[in-house]
Amino acid sequence: MRQSTHANKESRESRLSAVRSESESADTAAVVETLKKTLADEYILQLKTQNCHWNVEGPLFYSLHKLFEEQYNEISELVDRTAEVIRALKTRAPGSYKEFKELSSLQEASDNLSAEQMIEMLSQDHSNLSLALRSRLETAEDAEETSAVVLYEDLISFHDKAAWMIRSHGVKR
């Protein structure tokens, strides 16, 4: 009888462990999906920022040209960090422009933007991305995925500052 009770207890613990494991796996899968969207958003924003760096004109040329260069270089590092977190979670990181376009919430930049339009577009993209990242941060916190939490905190700080830096170049009307 004692052996049967012990076997039942082990069986119960095994089932509970399996349920916990499935739950943790589902939580991790949700984090991975948010990370894939984040990677796509960051990559598209990097491309848009680099486009603005190459094509900005006007009285703000020098300061915006330098600022956009600093930002796309920093975004490039954040793209790499995001992909590495995805890989650390044992998942393939998306890596094609097709995948990024499908996953990203950001739109491509229009052609022939003025400096003022670039300022508006990029500051809005950074602000919108910061808001989206706050929601993704909660998903990572709920799943207790520390590497994703740290990444999201860094991304939010970067995007809040980037939006402010770009907005500060705006023409006051």
Per-residue model confidence as pLDDT tens digits over 111-148:
899 999 999 999 999 999 999 999 999 999 999 999 99
Q: How confident is the model at residue 20 (pLDDT cuts 50, 70, 90)?
A: very low
pLDDT at 19: 40
Q: Is residue 46 part of a domain?
A: yes
pLDDT at 26: 80
Q: Is residue 13 part of a domain?
A: no
Q: Is residue 85 part of a domain?
A: yes
pTM (2 decimals)?
0.85
Domain of 56 in residue numbering reads as 28-167
For the stretch 76-125, pLDDT in tens is 999 999 999 999 999 999 999 999 999 999 999 988 999 999 999 999 99
Percent of the chain exceeding pLDDT 70 equals: 84
pLDDT at 142: 96
The residue-averaged pLDDT of 9-29 equals: 58
Please tell me the total count of domains within the chain.
1
| Residue, of 124 and 4, whose pLDDT is higher | 124
Q: Is residue 12 part of a domain?
A: no
Beta-carbon neighbour count of residue 128 at 10 Å? 16
**For residue 125, what are its two tokens?**
């993209």
Q: Is residue 78 part of a domain?
A: yes
Q: Is 18's pLDDT higher than 90?
A: no
Closest CA relative to residue 91, chosen from 138, 46, 147, 130 = 147
Q: Is residue 147 part of a domain?
A: yes
Beta-carbon neighbour count of residue 89 at 10 Å? 16
Q: Is residue 66 part of a domain?
A: yes
pLDDT at 57: 97
Q: Is residue 161 part of a domain?
A: yes
**CATH number of 109's domain:** 1.20.1260.10
pLDDT at 15: 45
Instruction: Report yes or no: 139 and 34 within 8 Å, Cβ to Cβ.
Output: yes
Taking the C-alpha atoms of residue 149 and residue 139, their distance in angstroms, rounded to an integer, is 9
